[in-house]
Amino acid sequence: MSVSALVQTPYRGRFAPSPTGLLHAGSLVAALASWLDARAHDGTWLVRIEDHDLGRCIPGAGDQILAQLACLGLLPDEPPVWQSKRGALYQQALDRLVGSHWTYPCACSRREIQQVLEAQGSGHARNAELVYPGTCRTGIPADLAARPQRAWRLRSSADLAGQRPLLLDWTDRRLGPQSQDLTHAVGDFVLRRADGLWAYQLAVVVDDAAQGITHVVRGEDLADNTPRQIRLQQLLGLPTPSYLHTPLVLGPNGEKLSKQNGAEPLDLGQPLAAFKAAAHALGLDLQATTLGDARAQACAMWAGSPISGMMPA
- Each residue's pLDDT tens digit in the chain (313 positions)? 444 444 468 999 999 999 999 999 899 999 999 999 999 999 999 999 999 988 889 999 999 999 999 999 999 999 999 999 999 999 999 999 999 999 999 999 888 888 888 888 775 555 557 899 989 998 988 888 878 778 999 999 999 999 999 999 999 999 999 999 999 999 999 999 999 999 999 999 999 999 999 999 999 999 999 999 999 999 999 999 999 999 988 766 666 666 666 667 888 899 999 999 999 999 999 999 999 999 999 999 998 898 987 754 4
Give the DSSP H/E element, type plus range, for residue 242. strand 242-246
Contact predicate 304/312, CB 8 Å: yes
Cα separation values, 266 from 32, 50, 245, 292, Å: 14, 19, 22, 19
- Per-residue confidence (pLDDT) for residue 251, from 0 to 100: 67
What phi, psi does 50 have (nearest 5°)?
Answer: -90, 80
- Per-residue confidence (pLDDT) for residue 66, from 0 to 100: 97
- Per-residue confidence (pLDDT) for residue 5, from 0 to 100: 47
- Per-residue confidence (pLDDT) for residue 136, from 0 to 100: 92
Please state, in angstroms and rounded to a whole number, the distance separating the CA atoms of residues 175 and 259: 25
- Per-residue confidence (pLDDT) for residue 275, from 0 to 100: 96
Residue 47: closest CA among 192, 201, 200, 218:
218
Contact predicate 217/12, CB 8 Å: no
Please state, in angstroms and rounded to a whole number, the distance separating the CA atoms of residues 175 and 46: 24
- Per-residue confidence (pLDDT) for residue 2, from 0 to 100: 43
Please state, in angstroms and rounded to a whole number, the distance separating the CA atoms of residues 265 and 286: 22
Q: For residue 159, how many other CB atoms are within 10 A of its CB?
A: 10
Look at strands 151-154 and 103-106 and give their pairing. antiparallel
Query: Could you give the 3-state DSSP secondary structure of residue 157?
Result: coil
- Per-residue confidence (pLDDT) for residue 312, from 0 to 100: 46
- Per-residue confidence (pLDDT) for residue 191, from 0 to 100: 98
DSSP strands (E only) in 57-131: 81-82, 103-106, 125-126, 129-130
- Per-residue confidence (pLDDT) for residue 6, from 0 to 100: 45
Please state, in angstroms and rounded to a whole number, the distance separating the CA atoms of residues 265 and 21: 8
* CB under 8 A, 24+ apart: contacts of 159-163: 160/101, 160/102, 162/134, 162/137
80: left (phi over 0), alpha (psi -120 to 50) or beta: beta
Please state, in angstroms and rounded to a whole number, the distance separating the CA atoms of residues 9 and 84: 28
- Per-residue confidence (pLDDT) for residue 311, from 0 to 100: 54
Burial (0-12, 13-18, 19+ Cβ within 10 Å), 204: buried
